[in-house]
Amino acid sequence: MTEQELIFTAVSMKRRAWCPYSGFAVGAALECSDGSVFTGCNIESASFSPTICAERTAAAKAVSEGHTDFVRIAVAGSGPDYCWPCGVCRQFLSEFSPDGSLEVIAVDKNGRWESMTLAQLLPRTFGKHSL
Ligand code: THU
């Protein structure tokens, strides 16, 4: 999948977002090393704390299907700023990109985007090497 296709897939996934409380729809498209792509959206809960972000939805789908080597992820939000993953998602993604080479593509509501590696977004990670 090209970068543009991955971004388009993430943007399309905003339609599936379950976000009646924040009204902030997020879509994600995660590419693994074999080229497979897993999608996700944010899913909110009336009791708030069980809410899951779009990135972790996509990551859980990938891992539960046996794909544990993450290469690229596009995250499309609904605000004027680029939708960079929250801290919890950065940590969660780092489990499956321990060298931090995962490319994170953050997309704004107008489809503009910027990219950075996970290592740039989460330096000095706590990982399995730390245990
Ligand atoms: N959210 C995501 O899905 N991904 C992010 O990177 C940031 C935040 C969701 C969580 C919540 O449903 C809504 O956006 C507002 O925070």
pLDDT per position in the chain (131 positions), as tens?
A: 999 999 999 999 999 999 999 999 999 999 999 999 999 999 999 999 999 999 999 999 999 999 999 999 999 999 999 999 999 999 999 999 999 999 999 999 999 999 999 999 999 999 999 99
Residues with CB under 6 A from ligand 1: 19, 22, 24, 26, 42, 44, 51, 53-55, 75, 83, 85-86, 89
Residue 75's closest CA among 126, 21, 118, 120? 118
Given a contact cutoff of 8 angstroms between Cβ atoms, the answer to whether 1 and 31 are in contact is: yes
The enclosing H or E element of 62 equals: helix 54-64
Length of the chain equals 131
On whether the pTM is more than 0.95, the answer is yes
Q: How many angstroms is it from 14 CA to the middle of ligand 1?
A: 11
Q: How many angstroms is it from 58 CA to the middle of ligand 1?
A: 13
